[in-house]
Amino acid sequence: MPSRTELANAIRALSMDAVQAANSGHPGAPMGMADIAEVLWNDFLRHNPGDPRWFNRDRFVLSNGHGSMLLYSVLHLSGYDLPLEQLRNFRQMGYKTAGHPEVDLSIGVETTTGPLGQGIANAVGMALAEKILAARFNRPDFPLIDHHTYVFMGDGCMMEGISHEACSLAGTWRLGKLIALYDDNGISIDGEVSGWFTDDTPARFRAYGWQVIRDVDGHDPEEIRQAIETARAETSMPTLICCRTLIGYGSPNKQGTAATHGAPLGAEEIALVREHIGWPHPPFEVPQDIADAWDSRARGAQNQAQWQALFDDYRSRNPELAAELARRIDGDLPRDWATAADSVISAINSEAAAVATRKASLRCLEGFAPLLPELIGGSADLTGSNLTYWSGSKAVTGDDANGNYLYFGVREFGMAAIMNGLWLHGGIKPYGATFLTFSDYARNAIRMAALMQVPGVFVFTHDSIGLGEDGPTHQPIEHLASLRIIPNLHVWRPCDGVESAQAWRAALESTDAPNALVFTRQGLPHQTRDAAQIAAIARGGYVLRDCEGEPELILIATGSEVQIAAMARETLAAAGRRVRLVSMPCTSLFDSQDAAYRESVLPPGVRSRLAIEAGVSDFWYRYVGTDGGVIGIDRFGESAPAELLFEHFGFTVERICETALSLVVNN
């Protein structure tokens, strides 16, 4: 039977060889954390390489994602569908072994990590999901939802502000099945961290409400095992295990230095490593006895079979609960969802309420949320402003996880990354809210959601200078455009309750893209539509008001500016002009429509086009062309009542008409 050190050396060898073959990568972390990974994966981690999607598996997150070869090595060794060919082609085009892990459950990668700190935040979301689902579905003698979330994290993760946001919440929520193993090697890319990172990290985490196990020898398997046992025994708080390690452990000349952090060791040093650790095998060769000792497929299949038997018994005693859990695990919408959603939208249309779209959003939640018990979300300390707390909301707390509302506090970045973790765990549809201008704080987690195809719902209110007296610090100008250019993110800016409802529906039905729903503070009138127009909202852009024959002028508007554009159209029509008004609440969805539809809305022959939106103007030239015009805002706002601001910045009927007529004349 191979020793623990020999098993860990398999990780070291595969990692250094893969980085060398790629001539790129980070060998230091995998070599330094190999002993920790060996103990965790072989003694504690409950998973099934034969079914990576088994719902009650433990989740493992490599937050220090630059150490990706550690993850690929243990996945390969334990029996996942990640053959040596994938490791030999580390960081190469077309292979699953990217430089930083990219979520792929087929090979056991739970989340995309790379931007430091987001992995631990995702893990907080996963652990929170486990706790919420356990509170909802577990019954005496039936611990169906019962697994841990393990995280590897390094000094970089600890320095990133998001780790403070997420780990503080983890302590508040008392996530007792979250266990983080901190690779305390004192090295980052720039060298020894003592020059820029002198925090008392154990004290910090104790202050968050974590159990802290400090000064564990990260190269002593028995100390590591005892620490994880202690962590697992504590169920009322998360645990941080501080592991002292040598980065690049096993490299005679480079271990403990930044030289191993982000560059291949070199052929000469690798030869010395092989000699030093007693690994005489050629690159990418793992002896059969070591491979057999790592293989987790039989154990994983047995664990899953035991759980399945428990679930079958649970289903016989609790058929309705079991059916609901199975639906949520599969990610299916309720059977009557389409009919019920149609009814919600029809009711909102009939109400014809003239309200701020943030209030229309709350009305949508009141309609949709009772249909989707998996819908769980909250706000970054702006609940009363974002209007995200609906009548059926109940707060999730450390003492009672059987709720559906999350008070994130002033933690926009943490909120967004935790949302990603909630969705990645499964069984939950997350939403989270803040002011649009503070989307900047959350932007990288929103980007990661788009990259991972995680369909979270990002709710943003107070969407323009309509915010008013709070002034330019709180008035978003560039934010709509900057969010719209993120690939695979659908940004909605609805003009009334009906468009808000269609936006919410699209977001809740999405399976492969996040949605940003952008709402106003100020009241907006209801726009009348026929059934075809209501359906066309889902296409991202449609004709809201039309004229006889081909238009000579097209007005394009979103959100709060649709009302003023509609008024301008009426004025122009009264003057004998043929004017079409297009509402475009979601440009990316409009762009995805077939050419015939897009041209039916925006005929190529109509060159006189005017876009109106209270944000930067540049974005809209893709729709109006060089012959068209844009009424936007290309400077920061002012502190004043909203109605004065709109007049000050030229969002008036008079200016729209004047600009529109000049386009017609000049074209």
Sheet holding 490-492, edge to edge: 405-407, 375-379, 429-435, 457-461, 515-518, 490-492
In three-state secondary structure terms, 515 is strand
DSSP 194: G
Going across the sheet that includes 149-154, the strands are: 59-62, 149-154, 178-184, 239-244, 211-217
How many other C-beta atoms are found inside a 10 Å radius of the C-beta of residue 204? 17
Distances in Å between the Cα of 14 and the Cα atoms of 9, 27, 31, 67, 73 are 8, 10, 10, 12, 6
- Tell me the C-alpha distance between 432 and 389, whole Å: 11
Cβ(185)–Cβ(32) under 8 Å? yes
Burial class (CB in 10 A: 0-12, 13-18, 19+), 596: exposed
Yes or no: say if 507 and 449 are a contact pair by the CB < 8 Å rule. no
HEC readout, 197-248:
CCCCHHHHHHHHCCEEEEEEECCCHHHHHHHHHHHHHCCCCCEEEEEECCCC
Q: What are phi and psi of 571, to 5 degrees?
A: -65, -45
Residue 374 is a catalytic residue: no
Evaluate whether 493 touches 506 at the Cβ level (below 8 Å). Answer: no
Contact between 452 and 420 under an 8 Å Cβ cutoff? The reply is yes
Written as one string, the DSSP assignment of 565-596 is HHHHHHHHHHTT--EEEEE-S-HHHHHTS-HH
Q: Which residue has the tokens 């996942």?
A: 80
In this structure, the chain runs to a length of 667
Catalytic residue among 412, 499, 552, 561: 412
For residue 515, give the nearest of 436, 454, 439 by alpha carbon.
Answer: 454
**In the block, residue with structure tokens 């926009």:** 412
178: enclosing H helix or E strand: strand 178-184
The C-alpha atoms of residue 432 and residue 371 are separated, in whole angstroms, by 18
Greatest C-alpha distance within the chain? 91
d(CA 392, CA 358): 18
Place of tokens 């982000």: 262
Positions marked active-site: 412
